[in-house]
Amino acid sequence: MFESETVSFTRMDEGTREEYQLLDRHYKKLDRELFDSVLSLLHRLRGDKLGYQIDRYDHSLQTATRALRDGADEETVVVALLHDIGDTLAPWNHSDLAAAILQPYLSPDNHWLVQHHGIFQGYYYFHHSGGDRFARERYRGHPMFERTAEFCEKWDQRSFDPNYDTLPFDAFEPMMRRLLARPPFGGAVV
């Protein structure tokens, strides 16, 4: 064990096995804190409605509620809950940020869905703000095209209703904990 919790090297190729084991312990601590970090991003969506009738937090809960009630599998329900966690940090590419954070814990299909849902959601409004509502068509033929379009149609674009019977976060917390406790990348060493 080191006298301090700091490695001695200044170049990675000079590190020893013991030093990398020390660093691994630090990274495992971050991994244990992942749930709270992601929950913090979800909570950042509270408050400012940004002109909508509900805030982005309630939108996220409502999207997950709709997915759950439609019988979606647990991973997809959590994707519905967390799909917009990048909104406050990356408003123009929030889908990419959310996908990057969740990638180690998602199936490749759900990762693709999260990463591309923003452009698919644009079908409903891009044309009202000078964009191309058909921008998603560049992905037509991709195996996840229809599923991502359906995610947006059935759950995401409909989840701005202040009168919808939205489930509280407690209904989704165990699912989110299970997802984020999975071995990253399906247990593969990266």
Identify the pLDDT of residue 4: 63
Identify the pLDDT of residue 107: 96
Lowest mean pLDDT across 16-25, 53-62, 113-122: 16-25
Mean pLDDT (the chain, rounded): 94
Which token pair is 98? 């959310």
* pLDDT exceeds cutoff 90 at 189: no
95-134 burial, b if ≥16 CB within 10 A, otherwise e? bebbbebbebbbeeebbbbbbbbbbbbbbeebeeeeeeee
- Which sequence spans correspond to the domains of the chain? 34-183
What's the pLDDT tens digit per position in 90-136? 999 999 999 999 999 999 999 999 999 999 999 999 999 999 999 99
Which token pair is 137? 């068509």
At position 127, the amino acid (one-letter code) is H
Q: How confident is the model at residue 2 (pLDDT cuts 50, 70, 90)?
A: very low
Identify the pLDDT of residue 115: 98
Identify the pLDDT of residue 188: 58
In this structure, are residues 113 and 147 in contact, taking their beta carbons and an 8 Å threshold? yes
At position 67, the amino acid (one-letter code) is A
Closest by CA position to 185, among listed 109, 96, 107, 82: 107
C-beta neighbour count of 16 within 10 angstroms: 11
In this structure, are residues 113 and 90 in contact, taking their beta carbons and an 8 Å threshold? no
Lowest mean pLDDT across 4-8, 44-48, 112-116: 4-8
Identify the pLDDT of residue 5: 87
Which token pair is 119? 């452009």
Which token pair is 110? 């759900």
Q: What CATH code would you report for 34-183?
A: 1.10.3210.10
For the segment 166-171, the average pLDDT, to the nearest whole number, is 98
In this structure, are residues 145 and 139 in contact, taking their beta carbons and an 8 Å threshold? yes
For the segment 135-144, the average pLDDT, to the nearest whole number, is 98
d(CA 190, CA 177) in angstroms, rounded, equals: 22
In this structure, are residues 134 and 125 in contact, taking their beta carbons and an 8 Å threshold? no
* pLDDT exceeds cutoff 90 at 28: no
For the segment 63-90, the average pLDDT, to the nearest whole number, is 97
Q: How confident is the model at residue 3 (pLDDT cuts 50, 70, 90)?
A: very low
